Amino acid sequence: MGLSIITAYTGSSMEFVGISLFTAILCLYATVVVTYRVTFHPLSQFPGPMLARATYGYEFWFDVVHKGQFTRKVAELHKVYGSIVRVNPDELHCNDPAFIDILYRQGKEKRDKSSHYLAAFPRGISKHESVVHEKAQLLCAKLLAWDKNEPFQLTAAYSCFTTDTLTKYAFGHSLENLKGPGWKPTFKGTVDKMTGLFYLSRHLPFLACLADYLPLNVCRCISTEIYALLELIRIVIPQLVQDSLDSESGKVVHPNIVDALLESDLSPSEKTLERLTGEAVALVLGGTHSISTVLSIATFYLLKDANSLDRLRAELRSVVRDETALPPWSTLEQLPYLNAVIQEALRLMHGVASRISLVAPDGDLLYVAPDNSSHVIPCGSAIGVSTYIIHTDPKLYPDPTSFVPQRWLNANGFRNRELDKYMLSFSKGPRQCVGMHLAYCELHIAMAALALRALPHMRLYNTTVADVAYDHDQLISMPKTGSIGVQIMIH
């Protein structure tokens, strides 16, 4: 019995020693890592909170625990530390608008993966402009025919328009959401759910890797949000891409973006079904949300301000004879006030509201701050600019949270292009949205059709500024928690 007691005691002691040793090694490792990050890291000379310089926990706290509040926190940090701040162990953030051109000019050739991909969009738009006109008129007709006593969610209606237009343009055939009953856009629900998962997967990337290998039926049991997203990525969009690839056999005859990529001189590795699907996922998930949100923001503020709507309608009537047959995009984009309304709505939409980080691969970056202090950003270091912080800079945009289209016009009433260089809704340089040209085409045509035909018959229902204003971000700008967005009644 004594021997068994001694054996048990010895075993317990060894277990205790093992745990203690492991804990000591873990603490030593953490101490070494923190010491390196704070003292010897290439970014150690840049200011920032000690916790942010030492660990990603600072960012995690505001991104995940406080649900998308890190961008607001970064704005506060700039007030304390100046125009350049270390926001995590490996990344800087700059809030100086003058730095935008420097940041997005650096290393463009290395980071711009495909100039052919970008070029495919402007070449193809003229062939599909008639589709945008057709869908915009169909949207207006459906809005005007809506039940007068039933409110509806406006972004859902606009998402039907963007989904139909985008799928026709990208894959050669439309999903025809506008022809279905009610307002049931194919991708909107999945996109909304995806944004809620963004920061969790960003800070815990193994979750995204794990999701790549999990069967869909297992994902359905774990999370309906993850299931919906993976179903879209694994089944729905690959099938749309495959249908486009089948066009050579006569199944689909409409030219589209997939065709443009296949006909380009990209390497064969850039033309696989997997790679084409990846590009299509980015296009669909980004394009359906952004345009419908911009249109919703513009509609909200135009309905709140009758003078702005009247001014827009008067300008449109100067070039429009028939509200159901609008002039071409090339004519509409020349209208100063229409442009101003679109630009202001884009500014308040923000695009990717959180920071967009780039790495300069070819050499150090020299940044001269407004106080004339110089900072050398080491080669290979990440530095970002937040769209939200730039778009709400009062030095650029006085009264930045208000909808003021006039800020985009000069004293003569023409477009003020000076502000264009600070517009980041579509990003810039190598990260610039490849669908930007299509987006502007949709916005000009849809906004013109809506202002002339539908907006005079709309009124807001249980909707306030809080339902369109930035509250937090989940990659994209989000309104207050619990908001269902802009609601509309037809009268």
- Assign 323 a pLDDT band (cuts: 50, 70, 90): very high
What whole-number distance in Å separates Cα of residue 154 and Cα of residue 167? 20
Residue 331 binned pLDDT confidence (cut-offs 50, 70, 90): very high
Give the lowest-confidence range in 45-49, 213-217, 222-226, 440-444.
222-226
Q: Is position 382 within any domain?
A: no
Domain membership flag for residue 29 = no
- Higher local confidence (pLDDT), 170 or 6: 170
Domain count across the chain:
1
Compute the C-alpha angle 271/440/114, nearest 5°: 25
pLDDT tens digit sequence for 246-296? 655 544 444 566 666 666 656 666 666 676 777 777 777 777 888 999 999
pLDDT at 280: 73
* H or E element that contains 161: helix 154-171
pLDDT at 115 over 50: no
Is pLDDT above 90 for 451? yes
Could you tell me if residue 227 is inside a domain?
yes
* Average pLDDT over every residue of 19-42: 86
The reported pLDDT for the residue numbered 286 is 72
Which pLDDT score, from 0 to 100, does residue 389 have? 95
pLDDT for residue 475 = 77
Question: Does the residue 37 lie in any domain?
Answer: no
- Of residues 452 and 244, the one with the higher pLDDT is 452
Confidence of residue 391 (pLDDT cuts 50, 70, 90): very high
pLDDT at residue 126 in the model = 63
Query: Lowest mean pLDDT: which of 124-133, 147-156, 221-230, 407-416?
Result: 221-230
**Does residue 45 form part of some domain?**
no
Nearest residue to 174 (alpha-carbon basis) of 143, 130, 142, 144: 130
Residue 466 confidence (pLDDT) above 90: yes
Give a yes or no: residue 89 inside a domain.
no
Residues of each annotated binding site for heme: 433
Q: 3-state SS of the chain: helix, strand, coil percent to 5? A: 60, 10, 30
Q: Which residue has the higher pLDDT, 19 or 156?
A: 156
Asked whether residue 399 carries a pLDDT value surpassing 70, the answer given is yes
Over range 429-437, report the average pLDDT. 63
Residue 196 maps to which CATH number? 1.10.630.10
Q: What is the pLDDT of residue 123?
A: 45
Q: Which residues lie below 8 Å from residue 377, measured CB to CB, with a gap of 6+? A: 92, 360, 364, 365, 366, 367, 383
Is the model's pLDDT at 127 over the cut of 50? yes
pLDDT score at 353: 81
Of 204-218, 281-295, 296-310, 435-449, give the lowest mean pLDDT range. 204-218
Buried b (16+ CB within 10 A) or exposed e, 108-139: eeeeeeeeebbebbeebbeebbebbbbbbbbb
Q: List the 487-490 sheet strands across, edge first.
A: 152-153, 487-490, 458-460
Phi-psi domain of 411 (left: phi exceeds 0; alpha: psi -120 through 50; beta: other): alpha
In the structure encoding, which two tokens stand for residue 82, read together?
Answer: 């100046």
Enumerate helices (H) and strands (E) in the chain, giving the number of each. Answer: 20, 11
Give the residues across from 374 on adjacent strands.
Answer: 368
What's the average model confidence in pLDDT over 350-359?
A: 82
DSSP letter for 38, please. Answer: I
487-490 and 458-460 beta bridge pairing: antiparallel
Q: Any alpha helices (H) in 204-360, and if so which ranges?
A: 205-213, 216-222, 224-231, 237-245, 257-263, 273-304, 306-317, 329-332, 336-349
Q: b/e string for 46-61 if b means 16 or more Cβ within 10 A?
A: bebeeebbbbbebbbb
What pLDDT is attached to residue 304?
97
- Mean pLDDT calculated for residue range 71-88: 95
The arithmetic mean of pLDDT across residues 323-343, rounded, is 96
- Cβ-contact 349, 84 below 8 angstroms: no
pLDDT grade for 113, boundaries at 50, 70 and 90: very low
Mean pLDDT, residues 84-100 taken together: 93
CB 66 within 8 A of CB 471: no
92 touches 383 (CB < 8 A): yes
Confidence band, pLDDT 50/70/90 cuts, at residue 201: confident
pLDDT of residue 470: 92
Closest CA to 470 of 400, 395, 398: 400
Check pLDDT > 90 for residue 343. yes
- Binding residues are 433
Tokens 């709309």 -> residue: 458
User: CA torsion angle for 163, 387, 483, 298 (degrees, to 10)?
Assistant: -60
Q: How many CB atoms lie within 10 A of CB 412?
A: 8
Domain with 269 in it = 100-351+392-490
CB count within 10 Å of CB 205 equals 10
Is residue 217 scored above 90 in pLDDT? no
Q: What is the CA radius of gyration of the chain?
A: 26
Q: Which range (118-122, 356-360, 392-396, 406-410) has the least confidence?
A: 118-122
Task: Quote the pLDDT of residue 110.
Answer: 44
pLDDT, tens digit, 9 for 90 and up, residues 170-199: 777 788 999 989 998 887 766 666 666 667
Question: Residue 441: what pLDDT?
Answer: 93
**Does 156 or 249 have the greater pLDDT score?**
156
Instruction: Dig out the tokens for 11 from the structure.
Output: 């075993």
Closest C-alpha to 434, from 117, 212, 32, 219:
117
Tokens of residue 147, six digits? 């039940």
**Is 384 domain-assigned?**
no
Q: Is 95 a domain residue?
A: no
Q: Is the pLDDT of residue 485 over 90?
A: yes
| Rounded (10°) CA dihedral 256, 258, 262, 263 | 20
pTM: 0.85
Q: How confident is the model at residue 188, as a pLDDT?
A: 73
How far is residue 186 from each of residues 163, 276, 303, measured CA to CA in Å?
7, 20, 27
Q: What are phi and psi of 265, to 5 degrees?
A: -95, 30
